[in-house]
Amino acid sequence: MHFAFDETTTELIAKLEAFMDEAVYPAEAEAAEQIETLYAEDRWDPPAVLDGLKEQARERGLWNFFLAGHPEEGGLTNLQYAPLAEITGRSIQLAPAALNCAAPDTGNMEVLTMFGTPEQKEQWLRPLLDGQIRSAFAMTEPDVASSDATNIGLSIVRDGDEYVINGRKWWITGAMNPNCRVFIVMGKTDPSAERHRQQSMILVPRDTPGLEVVRGMHVFGYHDRDHGGHAELRFTDVRVPASNLIGGEGEGFAIAQARLGPGRIHHCMRSIGIAERAVEYMCERALSRTTFGKPIAQQGVVQDWIAESRVRLEQLRLLTLKTAWLMDTVGNRGAHKEIQAIKIATPQTVEWILDKAIQVHGAGGLSQDFPLAEMFAGIRTLRFADGPDEVHKASLARAELKKYAVRG
Amino acid sequence: MHFAFDETTTELIAKLEAFMDEAVYPAEAEAAEQIETLYAEDRWDPPAVLDGLKEQARERGLWNFFLAGHPEEGGLTNLQYAPLAEITGRSIQLAPAALNCAAPDTGNMEVLTMFGTPEQKEQWLRPLLDGQIRSAFAMTEPDVASSDATNIGLSIVRDGDEYVINGRKWWITGAMNPNCRVFIVMGKTDPSAERHRQQSMILVPRDTPGLEVVRGMHVFGYHDRDHGGHAELRFTDVRVPASNLIGGEGEGFAIAQARLGPGRIHHCMRSIGIAERAVEYMCERALSRTTFGKPIAQQGVVQDWIAESRVRLEQLRLLTLKTAWLMDTVGNRGAHKEIQAIKIATPQTVEWILDKAIQVHGAGGLSQDFPLAEMFAGIRTLRFADGPDEVHKASLARAELKKYAVRG
Amino acid sequence: MHFAFDETTTELIAKLEAFMDEAVYPAEAEAAEQIETLYAEDRWDPPAVLDGLKEQARERGLWNFFLAGHPEEGGLTNLQYAPLAEITGRSIQLAPAALNCAAPDTGNMEVLTMFGTPEQKEQWLRPLLDGQIRSAFAMTEPDVASSDATNIGLSIVRDGDEYVINGRKWWITGAMNPNCRVFIVMGKTDPSAERHRQQSMILVPRDTPGLEVVRGMHVFGYHDRDHGGHAELRFTDVRVPASNLIGGEGEGFAIAQARLGPGRIHHCMRSIGIAERAVEYMCERALSRTTFGKPIAQQGVVQDWIAESRVRLEQLRLLTLKTAWLMDTVGNRGAHKEIQAIKIATPQTVEWILDKAIQVHGAGGLSQDFPLAEMFAGIRTLRFADGPDEVHKASLARAELKKYAVRG
Amino acid sequence: MHFAFDETTTELIAKLEAFMDEAVYPAEAEAAEQIETLYAEDRWDPPAVLDGLKEQARERGLWNFFLAGHPEEGGLTNLQYAPLAEITGRSIQLAPAALNCAAPDTGNMEVLTMFGTPEQKEQWLRPLLDGQIRSAFAMTEPDVASSDATNIGLSIVRDGDEYVINGRKWWITGAMNPNCRVFIVMGKTDPSAERHRQQSMILVPRDTPGLEVVRGMHVFGYHDRDHGGHAELRFTDVRVPASNLIGGEGEGFAIAQARLGPGRIHHCMRSIGIAERAVEYMCERALSRTTFGKPIAQQGVVQDWIAESRVRLEQLRLLTLKTAWLMDTVGNRGAHKEIQAIKIATPQTVEWILDKAIQVHGAGGLSQDFPLAEMFAGIRTLRFADGPDEVHKASLARAELKKYAVRG
């Protein structure tokens, strides 16, 4: 056991930090303005500064880190990627997308890498890996608890050389972005099959007739226009070629499971970066703001928050790193319990830190003048993402109890 | 000691509940649509349904309850008003304004009632009491901790028969509404005077040259357009007649203090109504939503949240009611500690309940499909309003310690 | 609604406070020494100072306040008794017993008053009301969850003119005290009857053959010798006359229910007094202890604890008082939900305050030099008393949900 | 970075677990009885079973692991020792002492190893390393905040070839044990010297005239007789040879600092073992106890506690391991912040888990029938040990703030 990063990681951290300092942080103010304009003009494409950042990142060799097992595309191990993903979380609206490491595309690229046909890879994976298009993953439905994937309602019915799709989805992140060219859609091809063999995944190009982008869901008052919002979709007799199926019929559940692990840990890594940025904001504000004759930084309660933030964050990061290491060594299934644990721990820790960082800023901390409230909104959604924390806790508890039941 | 409301209150509760059931709740959906349009059209006036509600409320005798000491205008005692204010909190975007009991106008009407000249009353108080115009209270400044009112920067300088005003304000609630016709502005007339005698308050009509409404501050992405937003204001050589001063020079701090007590308790009362509405949403969702084969309402963790919500809310309400009773019997100063206590207790309790209500709703709970996230945003601001909780806690602690210091 | 105590209460508060100041507090140090001796000599009778305090209390007319509905014995309404019980909680080892208002005798006296035969009253109630003997209530069993009274195992079998009792009990508070002369024992007379008609209560004198006092249960290492400990009891063919039955066969469950409400609220009232004493200790320590050059009282975190303590305690007291008022006006059943609410709220609030008071004292706060750790241990048990909090929360949640289920 | 233990550690874990299973756990019941007898007979020596366990442990090569840097005595690196210390924490009353790895002797042996003269090593270190005698560390004083070591009051005055010692100490763990043959005493040799050069440490044999063991301090109701209690000591003209000084005059503070780091991390490691044992108790109880017709393990709230326990514990362990690794690689000073962080995190996490484990057990969980309440009491003291958490948090916050102050 030891706790130092390997040489590759250390070098990439330095390169990435240079990129953040030289390009990303300086672009944040302009991005904020461009995003404000997106709202005003009711547009859903990313802020214009992103294009330049993507170009620079690729030139600097900071690209596609997320794709574990595929060094030829830039992919690192999970453990190598973890501290880099964290750093991108510090500028959550720009950096992950700049490095082509943003959800939900990352998961979609993994799916296509693992399960796509050569044609699917050529048509969709290549431009995704090159950052030319974006994609979305359409699984959550308004009428079904998202923690229970076997329950899905959207139907995918074979009709000759085509599949016909009918149903509704919502919270489809990224789908409002017009450059989101393709959706991976989860639905049921055979409701009479065994419980985990009813589902299939299929590629649906954005412009397919019958596919309607109904509206963007808000999170608190944010639309998340910078990363393509969260769409409600309606599928009415949407027809795609049978060759658009990913894997075989009935493999949808298994593919979804394979997709989940990395997706969750990436969220956690980035969230730790969000929290570090929040601690930075908190400390800088505490040092610069004076009330009743002394800097806030000298107030005992504020010091308590700062210390607690540090203590909680160090623990959370280590569990995330260990989970990454487990994924690399025993696989995503072997790391299942740890993935659940960080999925539970991350939002509660980071939300707590953001709340205190906001409080140190006064009302301004809730406003558009600081990114803290928007960070809070984003983190708050993680307590539901792929099922609420409570479902994951119950599952983790059953695993724990099983140890003793067996022994007893 | 006894815990039943008097007859007047009981009757008014019944009348108000009828109004809520017959008019307010049914109007909520339409209001939500109108508010969405306000955003889209970048408008800041209230939703159109409000006019009809105001008319109805006044006809039903549900008007100006807040104005303690002035039964001729509809005013009740604080204790009588408390349960009614709570009920209006259940439909926070419509009901308080419908009854002409919405902040910040209530505080402004109190100020004018207590300290206004007959001319000021005629010109501004009368239309406010009649619900014809709205008003704002401009105290908070961007560069100064709002917990420290003696620190204010805006200058009010006498020049012949006029005062000349220069400075900046922000978080001026209601000021974006074009029907907000007048601002009560707090500034310094004599920076060399004794610490609490430097400040004065002055009336500034909206259209006065030099007064610039810069922008609306956001709260978690919300603009709060339904109640006129929260403006940033810039005053550049703004001139008003000397007769616009409220009270005398140097009385600003004292007037602000007089204004605070009722304002705080009204917020707390309404917040309890918000929490009750959230409990209702939580229970209804828990009963109607099924996961893994049984209603969420049967899950132990959800039951724990519901029970805790009830236990906390009952305690909070009683402390608010006792505080109202103290204000009625020993005055606002005599109730100072209790007002601080509810100011501290209310947001932490109600925020906790809202968080759980949201969690029971899944991601939808954060979206525009339910009012819960917007309620959360509103309550979150109370942890800063007139100074962050931490300042009030320190003050309360010193008062507590004093008891023992004297004795020891 | 109003929040002032009636004249009777106000006068009794003054008399009780005088008694506390003149007699009870000054006796605490001696009592502590006597209790230490009890441990060393393995004795279980109360500290000797108690006798004098009882005599004085009775002379001052501070006696049997708890017996609601029986002013001829000194009984007050629940609302009148509440603030007095709170004051006795400030010196929890001495004051409740000094006023003959200590558990479990209070509940036993209520049972005998309501359900006892004239002979039972003569033999047991009279000496209890006169403070000559003590009693215990034997309900909890080691093998059965105490939250589920229908599950009781001890058997009470009719045999001619006698009942024969067999079974085990534990946590029988007061039973180690040799002056605890009688036990009210709950058991099953008819296991085949309807679920709530199987149980009966019966009087068992301490010296009855076959009744064995096995050991005292500890609580965090404390034996609670001052109030007779918590005994484990074994009943082996214990025979008592049939006339010792309280009420009729099958009435045990109903009697237990009638006994619970007042018992719970008395615990809550006294616990608030414990918390107030803890706040007093916390403030006095904070004012007198200096670290790093300034009194602890000036540390922000300590001020935060003191303020939070005050805010939570005020709310808790009001809910307890309202519950007392409901018991007086709509009866114990009518106040059922509120009794559950204070049963849940009290230990969590008071435990939190004690924890902080201890923390302010440093390691000494956990030791025999201050009463805080022993208070903590006592309060901690309340989270289990008559069933763990979790059972009460689930019940309260179901009641809350029912409101909406009916409506929906 | 990787997260697997090295081979040495893995083998030692297996050997230690075998010892626990074969010898330690089976001895716990007997130890509990013997400890009860110690209380009854007012004795302070360890339970008799310990001797046999020590013999066995030494034979098995499980001895003196703690002594980092001294493999010839059995010492391991901190990182190797960490998981072993954790395992000993599972049987906290027996295992650490059985392996000669119990506080405070471990710290004392470190001090003598690093700073002792050959004579001091021969006389005291050798028998300590061989487990023949015990020792104590006398630093804390009743009148001085223990967080502020510069403040110490006990005086050590040179008088010819002797030092004369006067003063008071308390909370001197282990000192009630008659086999505790020597105390390392911290006092002031030169109150006029520079702040951190006033203190010295000196060896005082137990039987030195003038040294009075006044009493044992209790923790809650426990005396901790199994590990020699916590003594109050009075030194009245206690004379020892000048050669008993450890290091030189004025080096006391530096020696104390050197002693603290390992001591703190050992406590944390063992505490994690305590928490794991508590989780085991919690799960076994939850599986075996049935209420209202189903095992407690199926209750959502209990599952929530179990999952949270696991999530928090995994994070805490990793931070402790990383801290051990830092101590091994960059030294105790280099790991200062991390040592503070685990010092803060450990008691709050473990206390929370113990509280829930107790709650699952009902009232029995607080009693002598389970070790949980005594574990709680022990962990609770860690929130004060070498200064309250609040002092460490303030220090950690200042370090955090410094990063940004420098940069800003």
Cα first-last separation, chain C: 32
Reported confidence tier of residue A237, pLDDT bands at 50, 70, 90: very high
Q: Following DSSP, what letter does each residue of D133-183 receive, concatenated?
A: -EEEEE---TTS-TT-GGG---EEEEETTEEEEEEEEEEEETTTSTTEEEE
SS3 content of chain B, % helix, strand, coil (to 5): 55, 15, 25
Q: How far is Cα A299 from Cα D214, in angstroms, rounded to an integer?
A: 40
The whole-number pLDDT of residue A407 equals 58
C135-252 has CATH 2.40.110.10 classification: yes
Work out the average pLDDT over D66-79: 96
Work out the average pLDDT over A179-200: 96
Nearest-by-CA chain B residue for A291: B145
Yes or no, beta carbons of B217 and A146 under 8 Å apart: no
Yes or no, beta carbons of B304 and D301 under 8 Å apart: yes
Please, is A157 exposed, middle or buried when counting C-beta atoms within 10 Å of its C-beta (0-12, 13-18, 19+)? Answer: middle
Say yes or no: D319 contacts chain A, CB-CB below 8 A: yes
Tell how strand A134-138 and strand A180-188 pair up.
parallel
Task: Identify which of B222, B292, B299 has the shortest CB distance to residue A220.
Answer: B222
Q: How many CB pairs below 8 A link A and D?
A: 146
pLDDT, tens digit, for every residue of C349-373?
999 999 999 999 999 999 999 999 9
Cα first-last separation, chain A: 32
pLDDT, tens digit, for every residue of C147-193?
677 789 999 999 999 999 999 999 999 999 999 999 999 999 999 99
Say yes or no: A222 contacts chain B, CB-CB below 8 A: yes
Say yes or no: B59 contacts chain A, CB-CB below 8 A: no
Q: How far is Cα D261 from Cα D253, in angstroms, rounded to an integer?
A: 13
Reported confidence tier of residue D147, pLDDT bands at 50, 70, 90: low
Nearest-by-CA chain D residue for A311: D341
**Coil, strand, or helix at residue D299?**
coil
Specify the CATH number for D134-249; select among 3.90.1150.10, 2.40.110.10, 1.20.1250.20, 1.10.10.10.
2.40.110.10
Stated length of chain D: 408
The whole-number pLDDT of residue B237 equals 98
The whole-number pLDDT of residue D408 equals 47
* Angle D166-D170-D173 from CA coordinates, rounded to 5°: 120
pLDDT, tens digit, for every residue of A278-316?
999 999 999 999 887 889 999 999 999 999 999 999 999
Say yes or no: A82 contacts chain D, CB-CB below 8 A: no
Residue B257: CB partners within 8 Å, gap ≥ 6? none
Top-level class of domain C7-129? mainly alpha
Yes or no, beta carbons of D401 and A297 under 8 Å apart: yes
The phi, psi pair for A306, rounded to 5°, reads: -65, -45
pLDDT, tens digit, for every residue of D247-266?
999 999 999 988 888 889 99
- Closest-CA distance, D359 to chain B, in angstroms, reads 15
Q: Which of A253, A246, A280 is nearest to A356 (CA)?
A: A280
Say yes or no: C301 contacts chain A, CB-CB below 8 A: yes
Task: Identify which of C288, C318, C393 has the shortest CB distance to residue B307.
Answer: C393
Q: What is the CATH number of domain B134-250?
A: 2.40.110.10
Q: How many CB pairs below 8 A link B and D?
A: 14
Query: Which partners does chain D have (≥3 C-beta pairs < 8 Å)?
Result: A, B, C
Asked whether residue C144 carries a pLDDT value surpassing 90, the answer given is: no
Q: How far is Cα A96 from Cα A80, in angstroms, rounded to an integer?
A: 16
Say yes or no: C381 contacts chain D, CB-CB below 8 A: yes
The whole-number pLDDT of residue D146 equals 66
Work out the average pLDDT over B18-47: 96
Asked whether residue C146 carries a pLDDT value surpassing 70, the answer given is: no
pLDDT, tens digit, for every residue of D330-389?
999 999 999 999 999 999 999 999 999 999 999 999 999 999 999 999 999 999 888 899
Say yes or no: C304 contacts chain A, CB-CB below 8 A: yes
pLDDT, tens digit, for every residue of D272-313?
999 999 999 999 999 999 887 889 999 999 999 999 999 999
Asked whether residue C406 carries a pLDDT value surpassing 70, the answer given is: no
Work out the average pLDDT over B165-171: 97
Work out the average pLDDT over C224-238: 96
Yes or no, beta carbons of C302 and A304 under 8 Å apart: no
Q: In whole numbers, what is the pLDDT of chain B averaged over residues? A: 95
Render the burial of B251-287: b for 16+ CB within 10 Å, e for the rest.
Answer: bbbebbebbbbbbbbbbbbbbbbbbbbbbbbbbbbbb
Asked whether residue B203 carries a pLDDT value surpassing 50, the answer given is: yes
Q: What is the CA radius of gyration of chain D?
A: 22
Asked whether residue A405 carries a pLDDT value surpassing 50, the answer given is: yes
Say yes or no: D299 contacts chain B, CB-CB below 8 A: yes
pLDDT, tens digit, for every residue of B315-369?
999 999 999 999 999 999 999 999 999 999 999 999 999 999 999 999 999 999 9
The domain segmentation of chain B, as residue ranges, is 7-129, 134-250, 253-407
Asked whether residue B408 carries a pLDDT value surpassing 60, the answer given is: no
Nearest-by-CA chain C residue for B283: C401
Residue C293: CB partners within 8 Å, gap ≥ 6? none
Is there a contact between B86 and B99 (Cβ–Cβ < 8 Å)?
no
The whole-number pLDDT of residue B206 equals 97
The whole-number pLDDT of residue B407 equals 59
CATH T-level topology, domain A253-407:
Butyryl-CoA Dehydrogenase, subunit A; domain 3 (1.20.140)
Task: Identify which of A145, A220, A359 has the shortest CB distance to residue B220.
Answer: A220
Tokens of A215: 């509206």
Work out the average pLDDT over D203-211: 98
pLDDT, tens digit, for every residue of B293-305?
889 999 999 999 9
Q: How far is Cα C124 from Cα C101, in angstroms, rounded to an integer?
A: 16
